[in-house]
Amino acid sequence: MFSIKRIKDDLIWVGANDRRLAMFEGVYSVPFGVSYNSYILLDEKTVLFDTVDKAVRQRFEENVAEALGTRTLDYLVIQHMEPDHTAAIKDVITKYPEAKVVCNVKTLEMIGQFFEYDIGARALIVKENDTLDTGRHKLNFIMAPMVHWPEVMVTYDSTDKILFSADAFGCFGALNGAIFADEVDFEKDYMNEARRYYANIVGKYGDQAEALLKKCSAFQIEMICPLHGFAWRNHIGSFMSKYMLWSNYAPEDYGVMIAYATVYGNTENAAEILSAKLRDRGIKTQMFDVSVTPASDVVAAAFRWSHLVFASTTYNAGIFVTMEALISDLTAHNIQNRTVAIIENGSWAPTSGGLIREQMEKCKNMNILENTVSIRSGLKQAQLAELESMADAIAETLPATGKNKKIEEDSVKMDSIDSKALNKLSYGLFVLTAKDGEKDNGCIINTVTQIANPPLRISIAANKANYTCGMILKTGEFNVYILSESAPFRIFQQFGFRSGKDTEKFADSSYDVRAANGIRYVPEHTNSVICAKVAESSDQGSHILFVADVTQAFVLSDERSVTYQYYFDNIKPKPQPQKEEKKGFVCKICGYVLEGEKLPEDFVCPLCKHGASDFEPM
């Protein structure tokens, strides 16, 4: 029996979940299952985005038939050729012989590699920025090589502002009846699975993921539909900012991942003691026994934390086997920009520390602490001081936290003002709008307070430099609409980062909605609207304080109001670490990057085997 989910009136999820798969790609455990997503767009022409894994072909076939109803399929878009998304291509093209297959040249080549059948005349080959009109919708094809394979492309539906993102923004875990990330507690239940998915599947290709993010920043994105995991319609900015960190190999959290490999528990003992000493300094730690924790969890944690400690016994004159595998996994996934500390153990010839150091030195921008703690069989009391020093050295490279923070008494002067203290007040963030003749305008403010009832009065403070403030002084009327937590960063850019004197703030808005006073508001990402008439105003220096009678107020949704703190934590993109300006050449076919000033004429791409003519400067 079919099991589909309607995403929009004309967009249906026709994928399926698999909770029996032991190892995704034969290597990554998926204890919460995995979803294979596929989507059908029912426009004047019908479009199927990708197919599914062979494990769920039957359900998929039923889903596609149900979603299409009496209609046939006009287009199959193949964004990614990995078999977990292409196992049902043959079923689809056999059942819908009129359907065109939309793909790029590289995909066509791979179809030939994987399958015996010939797409031939049915192929509609697309390249960067090509478009396909399907009636109401316009699909734009964007190449995303090496996110995660060389042929990957994504599709932007510029009509409904949906990004069909292939492997990008994916997540492990079955959907369990939901389809949108905001239907579950994503942060608590799925963020680690999203991080584990990114780090292990795409982690190696940070430059390519970053290039895709840059391309995407040119689009207004209101929904993301990936090939695995939930679709996104809210908090898109917040999830994208995770991607910005991950693709830059920038840590998400200050803290220490301690990965240890132990045979009889002595190396574990040293790791535990170090962890306790770090905790005493108020530093967060996360410990893994790498012999029992799947490597994919440890790799994901390494992408999360700022500091990595490796503690390993020596085995066969080398690094213990499970630690060796982890180190090799981390270097293969391009881990960089971390502070590293090393503990080694060896009863007669400890070598693991030096070998780990050698491997870590090959990674970019690693700060490897000089002193390795070297244990002979078991830690001795005299060596506690060495772990103490290691904990100190780690603490010195972290911003002061918790107990580690030594507050100098005279550093807090009674007459000093730290504006950040005021940010702790639970300010909201609101759009203030006004109308003067034919001119509509709006700006972001953070102070709206109900001050009386009756009469029902509010006060707002508007910066004198804001054009909207002048309009209210002139007209005596305004609207305030309360933004909800789903508000994307672009709204703050639209109303907060430019002046209405020289721009039309509502130019990009698809809504022309006005309250009874004729002043505009935007109903999306807004939970309520308050309209008011000025009763008094006073000059407060930089701002005008308006006291106003409420003339109309209405609620649009139950979504939580965005606070100033929430905006900083979840919506405003975090500053990115400065990246060294790289010089080099990128393969147009697969995205391989050759760093350096010169591209040898006879250079051959080690990934896709194309020659120098297929490279372009970065």
What residues make contact with ligand FEO under the rule CB under 6 A? Answer: 80, 82, 84-85, 148-149, 167, 227-228
Among all chains, which residue has been given the structure tokens 């040249």?
Answer: 105
User: 25 or 508: whose CB is closer to ligand FEO?
Assistant: 25
Helix and strand element counts for the chain (H, E): 16, 35
**CB 219 to ligand FEO: min, Å:** 22
Strands 223-226 and 162-166: parallel
**Beta carbons within 8 Å of 401's beta carbon, 6+ residues apart:** 254, 282, 283, 284
Q: How many Cα atoms occupy the beta-carbon half-sphere of 374 within 13 Å? A: 16
DSSP secondary structure string for all residues of 353-403: HHHHHHHHHTSTT-EE-S--EEESSS--GGGHHHHHHHHHHHHHTS---GG
User: 167 or 485: whose CB is closer to ligand FEO?
Assistant: 167
Strands (E), 262-387: 285-289, 305-315, 318-319, 339-345, 367-368, 373-375
> In angstroms, rounded to a whole number, what is the distance separating the alpha carbons of residues 504 and 49?
37
**CB 25 to ligand FEO: min, Å:** 8
**Beta carbons within 8 Å of 115's beta carbon, 6+ residues apart:** 89, 90
Three-state secondary structure readout of 30-97: CCCCEEECCEEEECCCEEEECCCCHHHHHHHHHHHHHHHCCCCCCEEECCCCCHHHCCCHHHHHHHCC
Closest C-alpha among 106, 50, 100 to residue 78 = 50
CB 53 within 8 A of CB 18: yes
**CB 57 to ligand FEO: min, Å:** 15
User: 29 or 557: whose CB is closer to ligand FEO?
Assistant: 29
User: 141 or 205: whose CB is closer to ligand FEO?
Assistant: 205
Closest C-alpha among 277, 207, 301 to residue 247 = 207
User: 165 or 275: whose CB is closer to ligand FEO?
Assistant: 165
**CB 17 to ligand FEO: min, Å:** 14
User: 146 or 472: whose CB is closer to ligand FEO?
Assistant: 146
Among all chains, which residue has been given the structure tokens 């670490």?
Answer: 577
Classify residue 388 by burial, with Cβ atoms within 10 Å: 0-12, 13-18, 19+: middle
- State CA 167 to chain mean position distance: 12
User: 107 or 275: whose CB is closer to ligand FEO?
Assistant: 107
User: 153 or 258: whose CB is closer to ligand FEO?
Assistant: 153
**CB 55 to ligand FEO: min, Å:** 12
> In angstroms, rounded to a whole number, what is the distance separating the alpha carbons of residues 2 and 493?
43
CB 613 within 8 A of CB 599: no
Classify residue 24 by burial, with Cβ atoms within 10 Å: 0-12, 13-18, 19+: buried
User: 59 or 277: whose CB is closer to ligand FEO?
Assistant: 59
User: 141 or 198: whose CB is closer to ligand FEO?
Assistant: 198
**CB 227 to ligand FEO: min, Å:** 5
CB 590 within 8 A of CB 601: no
User: 155 or 285: whose CB is closer to ligand FEO?
Assistant: 155
User: 216 or 448: whose CB is closer to ligand FEO?
Assistant: 216
CB 322 within 8 A of CB 290: yes
**CB 53 to ligand FEO: min, Å:** 8
**CB 520 to ligand FEO: min, Å:** 43
Q: Which residue is nearest to ligand FEO (CB)?
A: 82
CB 299 within 8 A of CB 203: yes
**Beta carbons within 8 Å of 432's beta carbon, 6+ residues apart:** 442, 443, 444, 445, 460, 462, 468, 472, 478, 479, 480
Give the DSSP H/E element, type plus range, for residue 327: helix 321-332
**CB 166 to ligand FEO: min, Å:** 8
> In angstroms, rounded to a whole number, what is the distance separating the alpha carbons of residues 19 and 603?
45
User: 84 or 559: whose CB is closer to ligand FEO?
Assistant: 84
| The dihedral formed by the CA atoms of 106, 119, 12 and 187, expressed in degrees to the nearest 10 | -30
User: 84 or 440: whose CB is closer to ligand FEO?
Assistant: 84
**CB 187 to ligand FEO: min, Å:** 23
Strands 305-315 and 339-345: parallel
**CB 546 to ligand FEO: min, Å:** 54
Strands 477-483 and 430-436: antiparallel
**CB 147 to ligand FEO: min, Å:** 9
User: 226 or 251: whose CB is closer to ligand FEO?
Assistant: 226
Among all chains, which residue has been given the structure tokens 């299409």?
Answer: 68
**CB 1 to ligand FEO: min, Å:** 25
Closest C-alpha among 87, 83, 86, 38 to residue 64 = 38
131, two tokens: 């478009």
**CB 80 to ligand FEO: min, Å:** 6
